[in-house]
Chains A and B, each alone.
Chain A
Amino acid sequence: MTAWFDYTINGLIVGNIYALLAVGLALIFGVSHLINFAHGSVYMVGGFIGWLCLTRLGLPLPVALVATIAGCALLGVVIERIGLRPLQGAARIAPLLATIGISFVLDQLAQIVFGPDPRPVPSSLPEWTLSLGGATLGSLDLLIAAIGIGAAAVLYVFLRFTRLGWAVRATAQDRDAAQQMGVNVNAVNQAVFAIACGLGGLSGLLVGMYYNSIDPAMGFQATLKGVVALLIGGLGNVPGAIAGSLLLGLVESYGVALFGTSYRDLFAFVLLLAFLVWRPNGLFSSSRRLPPEPLTGTFLSNRKAVRIPPRVIVAVVALAFVVPFVTPSAYVLQTLTNGWIYGLLALSLTLVAGTVGQISLGHAALLLIGAYASALLSVNLGWSPAVTIPLAGLITAAIGTLLVYPSFRLRGHYVSIATLGIGEIIGLVVLNWDSLTRGPVGITGIAPLSLFGWQLTGVRAVYWFTLAVLVLLALLQVRLLRSHLGRTWRAIREDDVAARAYGVRPNRYKAIAFACGGLAAGIGGGIAAHLYSYINYQSFDSQVSILALTMVILGGLGSVVGAVAGAIALISLPELFRFAADYRMLIYGVILLLLVRFRPQGLFGAV
């Protein structure tokens, strides 16, 4: 029994930390209707600032805490200036993507400066313990609890009793009315970002102290947890965010107690999806209808799409086939082959996000399903890749569509969050379902590519095979885009209300799009499995999902040619130019930012 009390206390403490994150997200969402995907990066930066103060500068803990808050507040102001202010007139998805780009940049900078390895954070606290009903609370636990409660109190006082706090509340409730009372909403946004990021940074330092470890990659999971708590409490609801965080902390604590540590994150995302499906407005709203969120819209430019003459495309494709004769270098061919595989993912995503307007942030999971499907079928049943790869495509299409179907009623931000959550869940299921997927060990010894016994030995054969598959699927996609089906997809993207008024059933066509996309991505994953001969749950993770989105935006949402071009540009070119892996993510982040700000329609515009 005491164990459960222990778990409860533990859950509440962790929940406390999440609350510092989630409250910031709620504040930001309240005033600007933006989910700040860079929040986790700020949290990570906070951890490092604190670490610097404590270890390198030898400052006492209170000073370190203040420095962390101040530094991250400043970072928040910068993020608002870069990520939100210039994009105010743009499609709603633009600030979301801009913050994702910023998070890439921050994470990579930290990795370059500090190195990827985790480092301990000294907890310079006296060794107090407190016994509470059988549970023991250490001084750090007490500190975290005190800070959590203290921060909540300060925030309450701020919002209730100060002029700026009132301006924040007024802006969150009704931006226009607040303006008409004389509130400078831009200043309010900046203040909110400063406060939110200050709290987020503080949270990062506390986590670092609690687990005695910080590393540059800790931000992404934090963002996700924060978003889950935010959603549970109701987007923009500050006390709700606290409640949601505590709930999340408890659920995780009990879940880990029952099932083991590796399941920790799974609970967060299952909780997320449960809420998205049953209570998208959060715990505290009685309404089951979605809040009226303006349609996300996509980046389709008002200029005509850049039309590349078919002759040019044929020539380039022919050129691609000829490359192995020109450069015998295995390195070049392997890099390009990898590019073709990602091209398949990009094809899939450009269909779903570009043509149909469903901005999926978890698309790499489809590659993962395809890879595992093909690998398992070939390793366990001994079937030839010529059979397992297409089967993998079909399995991916089925599973992917089934999982994403319940989210079709969602719009805007919610779709992106849902797909993100689903992507994470798939990765975690793959990790934890040992009996099927061999868990964290992954699958080794996957047979190389072969077509009915005829092994595709040699880099060139593999290159041609993959390219041929890519070209085939691209042609099929183009054909679909030109048909009435393609027209219907685009109509749903443009205005699903008007589309329904003319007989179009949005769920049906969204499902078809995800199925077609799932097929392409699943085949890509299958090829990858046989190519790499080893895969595990981290082979295609959320970073890849975001990368895929960057590729597709670079090429132009909806454009088949653009998707392939984007894939080559972001996968193969950096490799060929020998950019160190370290800098690549940084560059991707910057590219995403620049695209979203200056050329959201990408290279080839809309189709």
Chain B
Amino acid sequence: MTEATKTPTVSQHDTETSLLSESRLVEESRRGRTTAYGELVRLYERRLVRVIGRFIGDAWQVEDLAQETFLRAYTRLGQFDTSRRFGPWLFRIGVNLTLDHLRKIKRRGRTALFSESPFERPPDPSVEDPRRDLDLKQEVREVLESVPEKYRTVLVLRDLENFSTAEIAGIMDRKEATIRWRLAEARQRFQKLWQKRLEQEGSSSGSGGRSEPLSLEERR
């Protein structure tokens, strides 16, 4: 037997220790020890805030949603299976809350993803095509926003937040195969929308600022 098979690797050991520590904290929190839950909050608050922030730009709303996520998780601790990681379960609550919030905003007629971002610059009316004034990141955000929600969520979690497909499956309560399929579909959709945007920009710059493609009669 080799040394590697005798002893677990450092990362395995860390993972097991972390899992044990998490389950201990959850058990203590269930017994009403709020300080134990405080440790769990400190462990995950940064990541949770960042994930929610990928979907919502307003820092205040992000904090409110993160706080609501922790409160909801606290009241539902009885449903948590301590043999599993706390993170995916917490992020599932957080992502669901965030998506619900976005749907409410959408129903009220406001734009959703990234539209309230503090990084967004208002378009300058003096400029003929305001899109040219937007930076690349803003364009990427806009294209990402036009990807349907179920694909966009997977894309954000995988490509922006570096969750593995197995972790995303845990967060979204789907099979990993489903997540992989959605991920492939999401990247293809994003690519097509990005391509479409480039073509529209190209045609508008080529026709003196027109955003609509030429009709067949105009081409003649």
A binds B: no
Q: Which residues of A contact B (CB under 8 A)?
A: none
